Amino acid sequence: MSAVDQALETQLSNIEAKTGKRRDALYADVMGQGMAKHGEMVAWAKSTLGLGHGDANTLVHMARKSVEATHAVAGDPLDEIYTGPKAHQRPIHEALMAKIEAFGDFEVAPKKGYVSLRRAKQFAMLGPKTKDRFELGINLKGDAEHALMKPVKPGGMCQYIISLHSLDEIDDGVIEIVGRAYQAAG
């Protein structure tokens, strides 16, 4: 075991001792709060479990990592994203991906509620936002125009959002904008 792995194991053992809970129970507690943001989870662990920032951060990181490992083994992550009232939006996702794959190579990184598309950097995010609205986030510096596209305030994960409600809204203009973002990311 490397020195880094040994230090992590020691820290996790100390967290178990401080809280009186086993790490799998701690991971379940952290992930069971229904929070999506890492910082929110860390704040919860600090206030609820009485941990310092470093221990809370490590606990949250490991809890999230354990969930990601479970999802990777479980099968297609899209099955989890497109469930229940959002299931009918999967054809929008698949149609967009078919068009985007024609651009060339890129990495697909499934997240909890969306999929991130990356080259050297992220160029798009796509997934259901609500039961009725699909969002295509675009990372593209500079101006881009489309009737369905809205700029996002600085500091967000992307510069533009394109809201889609049906397959027929995926027009050449949407694909052209994604293509520009793809080229710029590369």
Q: What is the domain class of 78-184 according to CATH?
A: alpha beta
User: In Å, what is the CA distance from 120 to each residue of 59, 65, 78, 103, 117?
Assistant: 29, 23, 23, 14, 10
Residues 6+ apart with CB under 8 A from 22: 16
Is-above-0.85 flag for pTM? no
Residue 155 has pLDDT above 80, yes or no: no
Residue 73 has pLDDT above 50, yes or no: no
Phi and psi at 150, nearest 5°, equal -130, 140
The single residue listed with the structure tokens 């909890």 is: 112
**pLDDT tens digits along 49-69:** 999 999 999 998 888 887 766
**pLDDT tens digits along 74-102:** 467 888 888 888 889 999 999 999 999 99
β partners of residue 127? 135
Is 133 in contact with 120 (CB distance < 8 Å)? Answer: no
